Amino acid sequence: MSTFFSETAAMGLCLAVTAVVGGTILCKVQSRPGQQGRKVVCLAGLWGGACLLSLSLFWGFVLCSLSCLLTYNYFSSQALLPVEQKAVLVTGGDTGIGHALCKYLDQLGFEVFAGVLDERGSGAEELRRTCSSRLCVLQLDITIPEQIRDAYSKVVSKVQNRGLWALVNNAGIIGFPADGELIPMTEYKRCMAVNFFGAVEVTKAFLPLLRKSKGRLVNISSMAGGVPMERLAAYASSKAALTMFSAVMRQELSMWGVKVSIVQPGGFKTNISGTSDMWDKLERNILEHVSPEVQEDYGPEYIGKLRNYLRFIQLRSSPDFSPVLLDVQHAILAQAPAAFYSPGRGSFLFLCFASVSPTGLFDYCIKKLSRSIKITPKALLAPSWKNSAM
């Protein structure tokens, strides 16, 4: 009887410790920016649950308590650094996430350099009108080396010996979504020029300033850079290249004290998909560049319906940028920032599923999710094609 009561008391003590530490962790999660903490808590909860199910009740509570303590220690190292005297450069500040990020960082007290495609455009004018005098708008088309060098000179003249605390490579384009066979080589090259080579060239130009401050390099990639998605061959390939570049730079720059993070957002409503006029132009570009044989196999009706994929993406996207903004803030200010962030509904689960699931299962699930925009090339509808495949 005494043994039973001693075991019960021990289990009760473990349960109490788990509850107290778990509650403390949840409080810390609520006070921290970014989504990373929630994922850590979920993983710790899954681990703790597995311990309780697979082991005896006593040892299950012991290991569950240990997981909570380790999680608590993780959050203890996530204290945020002060904002004062820190300068940040953000590319692609005209619209979308980059525009919102410039405003958000300015509100936090950073000295913000907003790189824009058009310094006389409406986005640049709004930044000047609504932000503090600390924000500086820079003409910065990241595909033009002269503009990168000019922006570097202007940043150096302002930050002087302080260096640049953070560079956020945000500028990007998605192009016109189409089957990889239909996308013209000009679109592949354009996506690589902006999403990859532009980010690499900006990074190389400003790294001396980041090394001086032992600051942060944050690259905005995409969930598509880690999850294969139909009709995004050009965009996804360029973002996958940026993701790998960031991982390599994280290893190389660690000896300089520069921390590198990659952000892979899910679907957010931005202007990256372009306008209806741009879609018309890109659609004509496809029709002009594909061979007569390929155009005959797919059919003009199929090509004309491809823009429905853009509408599908927009319908599934969130207008609330706050998950991305909070994760970028954490990457810039946390003492120990994460290497990867995946803000947005379902992005973390999709990235994990794509990494660990069998290929056949993953392809089947993706096709089921995109069945609402199912369109079939003309040749596949012909009876002769079906018979020849048998």
Same domain as 138, residue 165: yes
Tokens of 61: 């509570």
d(CA 250, CA 260): 5
Share of the chain above pLDDT 70, in %: 75
Sheet of 136-139: strand order equals 136-139, 111-116, 87-90, 166-169, 216-220, 259-263, 340-341
Same domain as 149, residue 237: yes
Same domain as 215, residue 174: yes
Mean confidence (pLDDT) of the chain: 83
Summarised one tens digit per residue, pLDDT across range 197-234 is 999 999 999 999 999 999 999 999 999 999 998 889 99
d(CA 103, CA 96): 11
Contact 318, 268 (CB under 8 A): yes
pLDDT for 48 equals 56
Per-residue b/e over 276-311, b at no fewer than 16 CB within 10 Å? eeebeebbeebeeebeeebbebbbeebbeebbebbe
End-of-domain residue from the set 48, 76, 104: 76
Label each residue of the chain as H, E or C: CHHHHHHHHHHHHHHHHHHHHHHHHHHHHHHCCCCHHHHHHHHHHHHHHHHHHHCCHHHHHHHHHHHHHHHHHHHHCCCECCCCCCEEEECCCCCHHHHHHHHHHHHHCCEEEEEECCCCCHHHHHHHHHCCCCCEEEECCCCCHHHHHHHHHHHHHHHHHHCCCEEEECCCCCCCCECCCCCCHHHHHHHHHHHHHHHHHHHHHHHHHHHHHCCEEEEECCHHHCCCCCCEHHHHHHHHHHHHHHHHHHHHHHHHCCEEEEECCCCECCHHHCCHHHHHHHHHHHHHHCCHHHHHHHCHHHHHHCHHHHHHHHHCCECCCHHHHHHHHHHHHECCCCCEECCCCCHHHHHHHHHHCCHHHHHHHHHHHCHHHCCCCHHHHCHHHHHHCC
Same domain as 150, residue 19: no
CA geometry: angle at 151 spanning 145 and 152, to 5°? 90
d(CA 7, CA 18): 16
| pLDDT at residue 19 tops 60 | no
Same domain as 157, residue 64: no
Contact 267, 313 (CB under 8 A): yes
pLDDT for 68 equals 62
Summarised one tens digit per residue, pLDDT across range 236-274 is 999 999 999 999 999 999 999 999 999 999 887 776 656
Q: Is residue 383 part of a domain?
A: no
Q: Is residue 279 part of a domain?
A: yes
Q: pLDDT grade, residue 107 (50/70/90)?
A: very high
| pLDDT at residue 344 tops 80 | yes
Tell me the whole-structure pTM to 2 decimals: 0.80
End-of-domain residue from the set 49, 76, 103: 76
Same domain as 162, residue 20: no
φ/ψ of residue 127, rounded to 5: -65, -45
pLDDT for 5 equals 47
Q: Is residue 258 part of a domain?
A: yes
Q: Is residue 284 part of a domain?
A: yes
Longest pairwise C-alpha distance within the chain: 87
Same domain as 241, residue 145: yes
Q: Which residues are catalytic?
A: 235
Place of tokens 């004018």: 125
Q: What is the mean pLDDT of residues 42-58?
A: 56
Q: Is residue 388 part of a domain?
A: no
Q: Is residue 256 part of a domain?
A: yes
Q: pLDDT grade, residue 38 (50/70/90)?
A: low
Contact 166, 264 (CB under 8 A): no
Q: What is the mean pLDDT of residues 68-87?
A: 74
Contact 336, 77 (CB under 8 A): yes
d(CA 45, CA 153): 49
Same domain as 141, residue 54: no
Q: What is the mean pLDDT of residues 34-50?
A: 56
d(CA 375, CA 33): 41
Same domain as 96, residue 55: no
Tokens of 218: 């944050």
| pLDDT at residue 65 tops 70 | no
Same domain as 67, residue 107: no
pLDDT for 4 equals 46
pLDDT for 215 equals 97
CATH code, domain carrying 220: 3.40.50.720
Q: How remote is the C-alpha of 25 from its chain's centroid?
A: 25
| pLDDT at residue 7 tops 60 | no
Same domain as 169, residue 25: no
Domain count, the chain: 2
**Which stretch of 78-87, 113-122, 142-151, 268-277 has the lowest confidence by average pLDDT?**
268-277
Same domain as 215, residue 291: yes
Q: What is the mean pLDDT of residues 109-116?
A: 98
Domain ranges, residue 63: 2-76
Q: Is residue 384 part of a domain?
A: no
Q: What is the mean pLDDT of residues 125-141?
A: 97
pLDDT for 377 equals 87
Place of tokens 């033009």: 144
| pLDDT at residue 83 tops 90 | yes
